[in-house]
Amino acid sequence: MQRDSATFKGSQQAEAPSAPRLGQKWTRYRIMRYYVVPWIFLIPILSLHAFVVVIPALQGVVYSFTDWSGIGEAKFIGLRNFEEMFFEDQSYIDALSRNVQWMIFRVTVPFAFALFGASLLAKVKRGAMIYRTALFMPFILPSIVTATIWRYLYNPRYGLPTLVGYDKALLGQSDTALWAIAFADNWQFWGFLMVLFLTAMQGIDPVLYDAAKVDGANRWQEFWHVTLPGIRPVVLFMMMMVMIWAFLVFDYVFILTGGGPAGATEVISIDIYKNAFQRFEAGYAAAQGMTICLFAGFVVSGFALLRKRGWDI
């Protein structure tokens, strides 16, 4: 019996894999799991991203230094497009000024609406989800639907202006068209900001509000000294994003006025569209598109500098 037991143990030891072999198998397993398999899933989407985004973006950079109609061969002209844009093309300067006005509007009015609405809904307990859904609903509507609704609402014959005795077309006046479009866009957009701010407010410690009440703070002081500092990272981040999005506005302007009347609502994106597809100056349009990237880079760099100096962004 002892001999048989010794023989059985010897056979087990002979069949057991060695420690170095186990280590090699474990290393191969880790490589496959943490390096090979993730790339197998990432390569298709990265290839699609490169084909749809990266390659066209690089082509846009190249064409911005050329004289190209969009068809045929492009002629390299260096910085001539940018020189014409900043020093000779008054329509571009005017479009840029309208984008700046749009940006100022977007970082003030929607933010004020969203902060006010979120501060009110933060105290609502019964039926809160109904109110939030109702205010967020416009954001999920397609832009074409919202713009069409507001086109009828702005009608000078039977729309909102008739309620206040204003018989002129808001979209047909040079001094009101841009702000009318901005307000329509704000109607759709501010609910999205409100939901983000409301979510951030729910993460604030209630003890801070209790301490503020003990110190005799009123509702406004609670908002200014407790709520706003508590959601400041979200507010600043969305402010950065809205400033960038302000230079990408296209849909509402194109649907409601197409850049009119008399170019009063022509922003950079509309100017790019007209240069590329109506005037067949695709190289010049690509250079204009590069300036949007440049402005976005300035905005991101500014916020990065504030973050480096200690701002909680």
The CATH number given to whatever domain includes residue 135 is: 1.10.3720.10
Residue 70 lies in a domain: no
Mean pLDDT value across the chain: 88
Give, as one character, the DSSP assignment of residue 227: I
129 inside domain: yes
Q: Which of 69, 72, 67 is nearest to 82 (CA)?
A: 67
Q: Report the pLDDT value the prediction gives residue 18, as an integer from 0 to 100.
A: 57
Please indicate, yes or no, whether residues 175 and 290 belong to a single structural domain of this protein.
yes
* 1-23 average pLDDT score: 52
Tell me the percentage of the chain whose pLDDT exceeds 70. Answer: 91
**126 and 251 within one domain:** yes
Residue burial 138-150, b: 16+ Cβ < 10 Å; e: rest: bbeeeeeebbeeb
Domain closes at, from 13, 29, 63: 63
198 shares a domain with 301: yes
Instruction: Out of 36, 63, 90, pick the residue that ends a domain.
Output: 63
Identify whether residues 126 and 243 lie together within a single domain.
Answer: yes
Q: What is the mean pLDDT of residues 37-49?
A: 90
Q: Residues 32, 96: one domain?
A: no
Confidence check: pLDDT of 271 > 50: yes
Shared domain for 121 and 193, answered yes or no, is yes
- Domain hosting 89: range is 79-308
Residue 67's DSSP bridge partners are 75
Domain C-terminal end among 63, 88, 107: 63
Q: What is the pLDDT at residue 158?
A: 85
pLDDT at 159: 84
Which residue reads 């109609």 in tokens? 69
Residue 50 has pLDDT above 70, yes or no: yes
Q: How many C-beta neighbours within 10 Å does residue 303 have?
A: 18
Tell me, yes or no, whether 296 lies in a domain. yes
At 14, the pLDDT band (50, 70, 90 cuts) reads: very low
pLDDT at 2 over 50: no
Q: Are residues 162 and 192 in the same domain?
A: yes
Q: How far apart are CA 284 and CA 313, in angstroms?
A: 36
pLDDT greater than 80 at residue 226: yes
Residue 73 lies in a domain: no
pLDDT of residue 8: 45
* 171 shares its domain with 264: yes
**Does residue 68 fall inside a structural domain?**
no
Give the pLDDT band (50/70/90) at residue 44: very high
Residue 280 lies in a domain: yes
Residues 54 and 93 in one domain: no
Q: What is the pLDDT of residue 20?
A: 64
pLDDT exceeds 60 at position 248? yes
Q: How many CA atoms lie within 13 A of 194 on its CB side?
A: 27
Alpha-helical (H) ranges within the chain are 2-15, 19-31, 37-49, 55-63, 80-87, 90-106, 109-121, 128-140, 143-153, 177-201, 206-214, 219-222, 228-230, 232-245, 251-256, 268-277, 282-308
Six-digit token pair at 158? 């039977």
pLDDT attached to residue 190: 94
Three-class secondary structure of residue 158 per DSSP: coil
Sign of the C-alpha dihedral computed for residues 10, 13, 16 and 20 taken in this order:
negative
56 & 140 share domain = no
Flag whether 313 is in a domain.
Answer: no
One-character DSSP codes across 185-203: HHHHHHHHHHHHHHHHHTT
> Which tens digit of pLDDT belongs to each residue from 129-188?
888 888 899 999 999 999 999 999 998 888 888 888 787 889 999 999 999 999 999 999
pLDDT at 26: 67
The pTM of this model reads 0.83
- pLDDT digits over 73-109, tens only? 999 999 999 999 999 999 999 999 999 999 999 999 9
- What percentage of the chain exceeds 90 in pLDDT? 62
State how many domains the chain has. Answer: 2
Same domain, 130 and 100: yes
Looking at the fold, whether 8 and 150 belong to one and the same domain comes out as no
Q: What is the pLDDT of residue 116?
A: 92
Work out the burial of residue 286: count CB atoms within 10 Å of its CB; fewer than 13 is exposed, 13-18 middle, 19 or more buried: buried
Tell me the pLDDT band of 61, cut-offs 50, 70 and 90.
Answer: very high
Task: Identify the three-state secondary structure at position 46.
Answer: helix
Whether 74 is covered by a domain: the verdict is no
